[in-house]
Structure 1
Amino acid sequence: MIITIDGPAGAGKGTVARFLAEKYNLKKLDTGLLYRALAKEVIASNLDPQTHATEIVALARQISIESTNQEDLRTEIVANMASKIASSPEVRKILNQLQRDFAHGDPSPFKGVILDGRDIGTVICPEADCKIFLTASSEVRAMRRNKEGGGTPHSHGEISKIMVERDTRDQNRKVAPLSAAENAHIIDTTHLTIDEVCSRAAYYVDQLYLKKKNINS
């Protein structure tokens, strides 16, 4: 079983993915951390995405699933750089393959996999059994990120501005723009508690199980 969770930053993808992974015994991957791991290397190497495309592609080939276990990947500085390098077709090709290999590899001893990101249901796993798309107002998402901290020195206003710019960049990039799959279950988390969001997401997964049970019965 493959479950995908897409949506912009601060919509609640990570929290819901962790909840569903534990509830249904799923192997989890936060795909955004692959781009953040690369972004961290790009920043450390002082590379400009506009003028060092070749060097960045070379760094992308060194990224692995294990790279997502690094510390300091959730700062706004790293996140902003990740959004910039994510527009590169060459970078996406390399990291997309890592994600597909994870999705279609043997999940044992887990019962399946769950991936969260921005284009999982539309590009990485269009054949996924259950697709969920989370969204929320930019103001609420900025408040959540500000509360999380993440080691960033930015003010709430700065975080809000960065997130809006990132949303615009992600939604308008030519390669795999941020959007909900046609058959995705859309949940607006703006006015919901995290428990309510998790319950709604679990309902959709339960419906998947019931459907499969009826087919096999």
Structure 2
Amino acid sequence: MTTTRRLAAALAVTATMLAPPARADVAVGDKISDANIDKVKDLISPGLEWCIKRGFPMTVGETKRVEWPRAYKEATEKYSSQVKLSADGRSMENYVAGQPFAKLDPKDPQFVTKIMFNYDYGYVNGLDDTDLRNFDADTGSIADHGPMTIERHFLLDHFRRLFWTGRLYVDPKPEKPNPNGYRAQQGLYPVLEPFDLKGVGA
């Protein structure tokens, strides 16, 4: 993630954390569209607002508690208190596994940077490894009010990601020795369809 993208994401998260609790007159099952988006405008992200205003409706669902994976939670409780940012804020010291910074203080000068490290080391990005096979992807344009127009359809053979640090399930853990000092490495290849791109990968 580039520095600009990190900063933008951090500012968005910070604004959300510091904002007062919002209330809205919505109920489970309500259909939200461009016609009634004001009901939820204070509860959704700018990205969701953009989609709804351009013809992508949203149905309000029940709130559900999202539990951390047990190993991730235990690692956070065990190790987070020892983690510190380097003097330049570009790396962490004493990180082992789990969420690096479990306790955040908005008055901390490094608050935003810590949020981004928490995001980058969150379990939703994967823990030990990720392996996806034979999946589809589409590219195209979105009309001002209407569905996406698919311009190209892709069939991808294999996406794999290996985490070198913060490993919780597969030995060696919590770190797999790597001389380059990488956090993770990944590959997406080969493309199976369309034919003119078959075999391409990254």
The TM-score range, normalised by the shorter chain, is: under 0.3
Higher helix proportion: 1
Choose between structure 1 and 2 for higher RCO, CA contacts under 8 A separated by at least 6 residues.
1
Structure showing greater Rg: 2
Higher strand proportion: 2
TM-score in terms of structure 2 length: 0.27
